Amino acid sequence: MYRLLLAGSLLLATGPLLAQTSEPLTLDPLLVSSPRAESDWFTLPMAVSAVSAQDHPGEQLLTLDSLLGPVPGALSQSRYNLSQGMRLSIRGFGSRSSFGVRGVRVLVDGVPLTMPDGQTEMDGLDTSLVERIEVIRGPSSTIYGNAAGGVLAIQTRQPGDTPFTQVEVTGGELGYRRMRAETSGSAGSLGALLAVNATQLDGYRTHGTAETNHLTGKLRWQGEGGTLGLTLHAIDNRAEDPGGLNLDQVRADRSQARPQSLQFDADETVEQQRLSLVWDGQAAGGDTYQLRSYYGQREFSNRLPLQNNGQTAYDRWFAGVGAQRTFNRELAGLPHQLTVGMDLESQRDERSRNDNLPGGITGALTQRQRETADSQGVFIEDQLSLGDAWLLTTGVRYDSVRLEAKDRYLSDGNASGERNLDDWNYSLGLSRQLDAHHVAYVRYATSFETPTINEMANPTGGGFNPSLGAAQSVNREIGFKGEHPGLRYEAVLYSMRIEDELVPEVDGRTFYTNAGRSSRDGVELSGDWLLGHYWRLTGAWSYNRYRFDQFESYGGNRIPGIPRQSLFAEVSYDRDDWYARVNVNAYDHQYADNANLDRVAGYAVTNARLGWRMVWGDQRWEPYIGIDNLLDRDYYDNLRINDNFGRYYEPAPGRTIYAGAKLTFN
């Protein structure tokens, strides 16, 4: 199926491409900053992908799934259920999550969006401001510490040197409406940006409405020794949760909600404010350094589709500081790029649980506790040039994470508890430039991942689960990179071994256990090809073999929630005055449970985008239209891994159309 899809995509483009007589364009040099120090993608012995939002115009951007398509090994789910949030996995890290992102470290403009305990809620990001994403594929704890099985580094728009104002209105099927406005400019050394974004979605399924509101403000001051950036981001969101269905319910009505979701009015509300301050400085001798800090407050409440302990609420305060410096030195006659740094992070949750009575009425209090997570990490990494063709990278990091719960509901006994988890992690990479256009590399890296505070819940009662520990992984990979004037490609073969992988088990609420041993082996291919002045071909393919080696009675079974193969193929045509893109996302079969009894069939989804760019005086208009699931295929927007009674499935909508217009003026 995948060969046919890829061949079809290429055939669509072959005729017009061959008819062009213009010379190929040149891809810009690819520099990546997610490995802490700015590095050349071509010679770096690491699997890193970079995607520019400018290359994906006309996107709806309910989540980042459309930008992550060209990244092999990355899987994004849950676009349409905003109460669950985007679920992202990279080489299998994050696949266990019942909501949000786990096992993947997420940063926005260099500041962690991931909480100190390792959980990430992507609702703290205005996707319309995203300009670029970088993805480190595979264990990266020597760089980012806990929960860095992969890294998603997001860069958002900064205040512009030239003043501009932008207004955008979008609407479409499923009751989708979005209005956003943005203004930006600079005066002397001071720049500012203000953006607001309001989105509403009625949803494909019953009880699936959502409303999100974002406010982002930025100030940037350019001094002689560096740049100071201040960012405030606030959200006010509410989303209903239609829940998961079993197969019989899917066959009866794909758009229905789980009956208990209606009975107990399952939903969530979130209010959050986050303030970050970053200084990027220049030092003597070409050295660079960064000082960063952030502080935030989050109020959260939800109603689960069950009565006992069915309502949760918490007030969260979170903060962190970090520092790093990169030294460019010559030692023993060899050039070094040495980076040292530290991270300190803290999180405090005042959490309560109540029974959830029919109709979503708050019942009796069943739990109240203070939960804390404190994280400290120090690291050092080095890039050493060994002559003209060889590059050696090394890294080591130590992290300590303390998780604690203080029980404040003592009528059923004191369930307080704490865990102290620490780890050393290491990495070693070596690349060899074979010729002017090709590089081969090898890499060894480790990572660790603590359970999040929510995942430490004890299935036998309140407090912490005394038997749940951190997961540890070892990654070995061999890579091959190619770079030509209009073509860039990469091939990676990797093998991972994981001890004590965190696995969900559902009994009303979701609890977690450690799998003994598991293995992940895979191949990743990707390419980006510019032809002529207007055409572009992009593709990514991954194949994996993820298995439990030792885990209860599941030894030898496939790890659920990850398709064996995935394919992304896109052909785009982009001129100054209009653009068009067609892409295919294809996924092999996967399993929804540890026992591998419920096999989910593979599928392919085709999407199309068309837009125009018009200039009238100092005004620039960009109307666009998008069609998702062009061929109206049945598939699942999300799978709830190991949910009880077979309620794994969240059906996705069929063919869906949206349209919008963007007005920009100076």
pLDDT 10s digits, 175-184: 999 999 999 9
pLDDT digits (tens, 9 = 90+) for 603-634: 999 999 999 999 998 899 999 999 999 999 99
Q: In b/e form, how buried is each residue of 532-569, taking b as 16+ CB within 10 angstroms?
A: bebbbbbbbbbbbebbbbebeebeebbbbbbbbbbbbb
Q: What is the mean pLDDT of residues 65-86?
A: 94
Average pLDDT of the chain, as a whole number: 92
CA distances to 138, 392, 419, 496 from 490, in Å: 15, 19, 41, 19
Provide the residue type at 243 as one letter: G
Question: Could you give the maximum distance between any two Cα atoms of the chain, in Å?
Answer: 80
> Cα 55 vs. chain centroid, distance in angstroms?
18
For the chain, helix, strand, coil in percent to 5 are 10, 60, 30
Provide the residue type at 577 as one letter: D
Strands (DSSP E) contained in 408-516 are 417-435, 438-449, 471-484, 487-499, 502-507, 509-514
- The residues, any chain, with a CB within 8 Å of residue 293's CB and separated by 6 or more, are 276, 277, 278, 319, 320, 321, 322
- Of 490, 242, 462, give the one whose Cα is nearest residue 366: 462
- Structural domains of the chain, ranges and CATH numbers in brackets: 2-416+426-665 (2.40.170.20)
- The residues, any chain, with a CB within 8 Å of residue 224's CB and separated by 6 or more, are none
Report residue 639 as tokens: 């799978």
Report residue 634 as tokens: 């049945």
pLDDT digits (tens, 9 = 90+) for 434-480: 999 999 999 999 999 998 888 887 766 556 777 788 899 999 999 99
How far apart, in whole angstroms, are the C-alpha atoms of residue 562 and residue 496?
A: 15
According to DSSP H, which parts of 245-286 are helical? 247-252, 259-263
- In this structure, are residues 557 and 547 in contact, taking their beta carbons and an 8 Å threshold? yes
Q: Is the pLDDT of residue 430 over 90?
A: yes
Partners of residue 338 on adjacent β-strands: 327, 382
Binning pLDDT at 50, 70 and 90, where does residue 99 land? confident
- Of 2, 16, 1, 4, give the one whose Cα is nearest residue 537: 16
Q: Is 248 buried (19+), middle (13-18) or exposed (0-12) by CB count in 10 A?
A: exposed
Q: Give me the percent of the chain exceeding a pLDDT of 90.
A: 80
Q: Is the pLDDT of residue 280 over 50?
A: yes
- The residues, any chain, with a CB within 8 Å of residue 539's CB and separated by 6 or more, are 6, 9, 70, 525, 526, 527, 567, 568, 569, 570
Residue 510 is predicted with a pLDDT of 73
**Sign (positive/negative) of CA torsion 323, 110, 431, 142?**
positive
- Of 504, 386, 394, 502, give the one whose Cα is nearest residue 448: 502
Provide the residue type at 200 as one letter: Q
Q: Is the pLDDT of residue 94 over 50?
A: yes
Q: For 13-22, 83-92, 556-565, 585-594, which range has the lowest pLDDT when averaged over its residues?
A: 13-22
Predicted model pTM: 0.93
Q: What is the mean pLDDT of residues 517-541?
A: 95
- In this structure, are residues 339 and 387 in contact, taking their beta carbons and an 8 Å threshold? no
Partners of residue 367 on adjacent β-strands: 353
Cα R_g (the chain), whole angstroms = 24
How far apart, in whole angstroms, are the C-alpha atoms of residue 502 and residue 468?
A: 8
Q: Give me the percent of the chain exceeding a pLDDT of 70.
A: 95
**Sign (positive/negative) of CA torsion 652, 507, 512, 238?**
positive
- Of 375, 288, 303, 352, give the one whose Cα is nearest residue 110: 288
